[in-house]
Structure 1
Amino acid sequence: MTASSTPVKNPVPIAGVHHTARPTWKLAETVHFYRDLLGLPLVHAISARGWGPEDHADFLHFFFDSGNGSTIAFFYYIGTTPPDFVAVRDDYRYRASHTAWRVTSREDLLAAREKIEAAGIEIKYQIRHEVIESIYFDDPNGYSLEITWQVRPFGQVDLDDAARTMDAAVALENARGQTPFTKIDQVWSGKAGKLAEEFEQAKTLEEVA
């Protein structure tokens, strides 16, 4: 068993995602999109005069119910303008930060797509990748949203593969001062080497037994 696949004895006692939060400078459009078009109930709003540092702007922090006890939230900083680092970029690294909601069947995924398109929201694409099938679209702020259906539950093979993958990748990252880490092939090669070692160890144990 690899180190990263060893169960933690005392894991952090969390019970799922409560909320994700991002800033918005499009207050009316954001409320209209999530409440009126997607139909997510507006369930809570905090209004505050600054917070923490002296230069912190007054703000609204508001939450929409996104199902199963979770919410999606936004900060609206009153009287401010968006800084350059939040500008929308047509870049896969920008879109790596996104919110993904879960549905429990492909029928629900297709129904979600139909309702979203009926509301006049463009679906950017629908794709199945490994164990999930998803639709993707953007909110008025340019934030990427995903609705996903997991086609099968994770099994032991997924846990074992995830441990081997991340062990190999971490080893490569730690060795970057000696060998550049530039290609996924390096991860695959590291996994293959580890599997070969495990196979030889198991074979030796069988011969001894």
Structure 2
Amino acid sequence: MTSKPGLPLVGVHHTARPTWKLAETVHFYRDLLGLPLVHAISARGWGPEDHADFLHFFFDSGTGSTIAFFYYIGTEAPEFVAVRDDYRYRATHTAWRVETREDLLACRARIEAAGIKLNYQIRHEVIESIYFNDPNGYSLEITWQVRPFTEVDIADANRTLEAGIALENASRAGQGSFTSIDEVWRSKGERLAADMEVQ
């Protein structure tokens, strides 16, 4: 695959979320999932005067990546972080990668043996994943990528998002509505047909 020069990134270092369940979070990630606890920052509040003192701790999640948490000492969880049974809430999640389907199934076996409820296992397009929640209600995914992304995937992704952006812009300008995936498919198809006529 070819790519344009961009940021010199080498992967995700960490994702971070707040927790008000210190013991449960450490037990879940370190003891049940087996992710080593590799670093902890203990600090007085940073920035604004009302910033609480905190513990910021990291678990190794493979190939240089970590998953991290902030425990704000002496505070209560605000309403905006309350767990919701809503697909829009679950959209924010951490997904880890494994190399083989056997690894994915081994992860599932370990999770279930630890008494962690598996939400579901599903194959969607080029990945197969298992989903479960941590003690904070955060959604976690472990995924196996069935095949690498190709030039066809890249071209299709760009066409799909270009169609979606055009529909979103038209909707915001009051020139129609954007309410279903059918509109994306139709617009993408029309653009593809027009491009083929030009060739």
1:198 to 179, 189, 195: 195
**SS across alignment from 1:199:** helix
1:119 aligns with 2:114: yes
Higher Cα radius of gyration: 1
**SS across alignment from 2:20:** coil
Name the aligned partner's letter for residue 58 of structure 2: F
Q: Runs of 5+ in structure 1 lacking a partner?
A: 1-5, 203-209
| 1:1-209 to 2 correspondences below 5 Å | 7-8=3-4, 10-176=5-171, 177-202=174-199
Name which of structure 1's ranges 190-199 and 18-27 shifts more when overlaid on structure 2: 190-199
**SS across alignment from 2:46:** coil
Residues 111-156 of structure 1 show CA distances to partners (whole Å, capped at 9, x for unaligned) of 1100111111111100001000000000000000000000111111
Q: Give 1:188 shift.
A: 0.5
Count of residues paired in the alignment:
196
Q: Matched residues in 1 for 2:72 and 2:6: separation? A: 35
Q: Matched residues in 2 for 1:114 and 1:15: separation? A: 30
Residues 58-90 of structure 1 show CA distances to partners (whole Å, capped at 9, x for unaligned) of 000000000010000000000000000000000
Name which of structure 1's ranges 91-100 and 170-179 shifts more when overlaid on structure 2: 170-179
Q: Matched residues in 1 for 2:45 and 2:25: separation? A: 22
Name the aligned partner's letter for residue 198 of structure 1: D
Give me the identity figure in percent: 77
Residues 30-80 of structure 1 show CA distances to partners (whole Å, capped at 9, x for unaligned) of 000000000000000000110000000000000000001000000000000
- Off by >6 Å, runs of 4+ in structure 1: none
Q: Matched residues in 2 for 1:123 and 1:183: separation? A: 30
Q: Give 1:7 shift.
A: 4.7
Q: What TM-score does the superposition give when structure 2 sets the normalisation length? A: 0.97
Q: Matched residues in 2 for 1:164 and 1:14: separation? A: 25
Q: What TM-score does the superposition give when structure 1 sets the normalisation length? A: 0.92
Residues 134-180 of structure 1 show CA distances to partners (whole Å, capped at 9, x for unaligned) of 00000000000000000111111101100100000001111112111
Q: Matched residues in 2 for 1:127 and 1:183: separation? A: 23
The Cα RMSD (Å) is: 1.0
Q: Matched residues in 1 for 2:162 and 2:104: separation? A: 34
**SS across alignment from 1:170:** helix
**SS across alignment from 1:56:** coil
Name the aligned partner's letter for residue 17 of structure 1: V
**SS across alignment from 2:143:** strand
Name the aligned partner's letter for residue 140 of structure 1: P
